[in-house]
A and B are shown apart, each in its own frame.
Chain A
Amino acid sequence: MSDLKIVAQDLYGRSPMRRLVPLWWALGLTALFVASILGMNLDIARIIEGGARLVVMLGQMFPPDFSIFGRIIGPAIETLYVAILGTFLGVIFSLVVGVLAAHNITPHVTLEIALKVFSAFTRAVPALIWALLFIVAVGLGPLPGILALAINSIGMLGKVFAESIEEIDRGQIEAVSATGATPLQIISKAIIPSVTPALVSWSLFRLDINIRYSAVLGVVGAGGIGLELVRSTRMLAFDETLTITILIFVMVWAVEYINNKIRAFIR
């Protein structure tokens, strides 16, 4: 037997520098954190002062003013409608985008690349900015909100739909095309059934996201409950702010709850 000499390197890895990799990360992230604070001239005094104001504000929030319920329920429902319509339009267009952009069934690679770039762009631009753009284009109200959510959804759903289609077992598509089916029939009978769970699950997830966005879109004037939220803070009616916040919370939570139920059902 050769005398095997075990040195530190054999036990701990290649070099001391590499052994300390977690430390380098910790130092690097700390430096980034500190640089960000210094860069913003954050004033500690102001934070403390703000804390005191926050306590006052919280105090004014209670009890929440539920008498405004009748006034805010309309905008709240509008927020839901905006989210649902935005998601609907988004899903429908994303299906087209997904089918045409999926590498295994795309009619042409150029189209695939064009659509993938298009969806990368629509998801890179935040919904809020889309809303601002559409407000300029079509005016204030729920319509720009719907359009903003729809196009922002295409960015995400188009991508994940295409990826789900790319993951389908090739054999199923082959078998259906071997019966003499047309491309449309192959899409509807081999591809759609196979991706249904992913499709439903991602669409519901997107509805979830869109409800949250939709609540915020009102802030920039794209309809819904966001506007009420801003108005109440401007009027320093924090008891109303709390009511609206609770309502938004209940809406988001309810949609998430229903989504989870549906997702568990569809496999």
Chain B
Amino acid sequence: MTIVVGYVPTPEGEAALAQAITEARKNNSTLVVINSSKGEAAVDNRFAQDDDIQGIEQRLATQGIQHVIKRPVRGHDAAAEVLDAAEEHKADLIVIGLRRRTPVGKLIMGSTSQRILLEADCPVLAVKAG
């Protein structure tokens, strides 16, 4: 099995990663971690830094989980990158983190998670920060 997880260095992102690790251990799957940025602004705090990624790498290695970490910066938004990776790795499950938002906020901002939910070809597991 293959699980794709959309990671961001926020509580929601950490929750998603933790859940994805639990799922991966359950049925010995390969974990694909995606952390992307459009690379448009000079600063993007949703793009994980090198030491952050190394920490994840180590965590997965010590738990003996087969994994791929991808950090695409090519102008696509996060939803497109997760869907892309899901297709490429023939994912059986996508894990994402959800932010709490009011209906109005959702209407204005649009939503990465919503796009993934609507367009994914496999089951999507949405997690909230604890």
- A and B form one complex: no
**Chain B residues engaging chain A, CB cutoff 8 angstroms:** none
**Chain A residues engaging chain B, CB cutoff 8 angstroms:** none
